[in-house]
Amino acid sequence: MTLKALICGCAGPTLSEEERAFFAEERPFGLILFARNVESPAQVRALTADFRALAGREEAPVFIDQEGGRVQRLRPPHWRDYPPAATFGALWKQDPLAALNAARAVTWLLGRELAEIGVNADCLPVLDVPVAGSHDIIGDRAYAEEPVAAALLARAAVAGLRAAGVAPVIKHIPGHGRARVDSHEKLPVVDAPLEALRGHDFLPFAALADAPMAMTAHVVYAAVDGRNPATTSRVVIHDVIRGEIGFSGLLMSDDLNMRALEGPLAARAEAALEAGCDVVLHCSGRLDEMRAVAAVCPVLSGEALRRAEGAMAATRPEGLAPEKRVAEGWLERLSGLS
């Protein structure tokens, strides 16, 4: 079956006839959901089932950004409210073992809610490590300000997602923690020396280099490539992400619509794919934009196809699930730390 190197959104809680025709014809690798696509569990289940029927694949990835804290598309009353990642870091300072157990159990509970509505890929965990003076676009979305703690807590969260049958997407590789501006609005330029990046920013990503998927950072790393953000930098992707960090999974761009990138959307997509991204992400749900991007996205083949197949396989449950009452107990305890 042919799959295009594209993950895209949709406009509302159901697919229009035009969107259905687009998905059936273009066969994008995956669908990503936002708050505009969410009304109730039954509605989301119907939407994800509709997409998969059009895609012709039971394991077709349906993505969401469900981190907890500021970034969660699913919220009460139909879904639980989850703490931001930094809450696990706060517990880590008191009791590291408890923090690891909590991260795995609570993230399993989150993943279980996703799996129940047909969402099988979560853009989690955030492996960025903030530093003094960085923009708060990451802030409490990060697990810790120390790379080893961040990596261990993220590894526990990954185990929770995998036990629930949800594939994790580590982000934003190779590190957004030093950015002093929000890449949704402007292009961040990080001027830290390479040794500082290696000893801090890259470490959590290297520790989770076996993750099935990763999302790039729209960030320029002047010590590696002074002109292009990671998403469109062949040097960053090949030398750092694939080389030093050793990431071997499916590499997806962050959203092409973000203002850190310049030029027409089709040109942005081409630049990301030429640099080494396996698939590109387009989130707005605007059909005219989706068509323009799809027109330049190739069919997945070779190594990119192999990585895509590995990502789809990661949606199968792996590992022992914690007891539901235990996970709910951790969630209740963490509410006092948020």
- Write out pLDDT tens, residues 211-245: 999 999 999 999 999 999 999 999 999 999 999 99
The closest alpha carbon to 231, from 193, 257, 201, belongs to: 257
Residue 54 in domain = no
What's the mean per-residue pLDDT of the chain? 97
Range of the domain at 215: 81-334
Instruction: Count helices and strands (H / E) in the chain.
Output: 12, 12
Structure tokens at 277: 């991204």
Residue 178 placed within a domain: yes
pLDDT the model gives residue 155: 98
Report whether pLDDT(179) > 70.
yes
Across residues 110-133, what is the average pLDDT? 97
Backbone angles phi, psi at 322, to 5 degrees: -70, 165
- Cβ proximity of 3 and 305 under 8 Å: yes
Q: Which of 184, 191, 210, 238 is catalytic?
A: 184
Distances (CA, A) of 28 to 95, 108, 162: 44, 28, 23
A 10 A CB-CB count for 137 gives 18
Euclidean distance between CA atoms 254 and 99, whole angstroms: 29
pLDDT higher than threshold 90 for residue 169: yes
Active site residue 184: yes
Q: What is the mean pLDDT of residues 83-106?
A: 98
The CATH number for 326's domain is 3.20.20.300
Instruction: Say what the pLDDT of residue 337 is.
Output: 78
- 10: in domain: no
- Candidates 108, 145, 141; CA nearest to 126 is 141
In the predicted structure, residue 1 carries a pLDDT above the cut 80:
no
Q: Would you say residue 111 lies in a domain?
A: yes
In a domain, 40, yes or no: no
Q: Is the pLDDT of residue 248 over 90?
A: yes
Q: Which of 50, 122, 254, 278 is catalytic?
A: 254
- Residue 110 counted as domain residue: yes
**pLDDT of 338 over the 90 cut:** no
Percentage above 90 pLDDT, the chain: 96
In a domain, 206, yes or no: yes
Tally of domains in the chain? 1
pLDDT at residue 335 in the model: 86
Instruction: Using pLDDT thresholds of 50, 70 and 90, give the confidence band for residue 336.
Output: confident
Select from 223, 231, 282, 212 the least CA-distant residue to 6: 282
| Peptide bond before residue 174 is cis, with ω within 30 degrees of 0 | yes
Q: What is the pLDDT of residue 2?
A: 87
Which tokens hold the place of 33?
A: 């959901």
- Tell me the H-state helices in 34-185: 41-55, 85-94, 96-116, 147-163
pLDDT (tens digit, 9 = 90+) per residue, 256-302?
999 999 999 999 999 999 999 999 999 999 999 999 999 999 999 99
Q: In this structure, is residue 187 part of a structural domain?
A: yes
Question: In this prediction, what percent of the chain has a pLDDT beyond 70?
Answer: 99
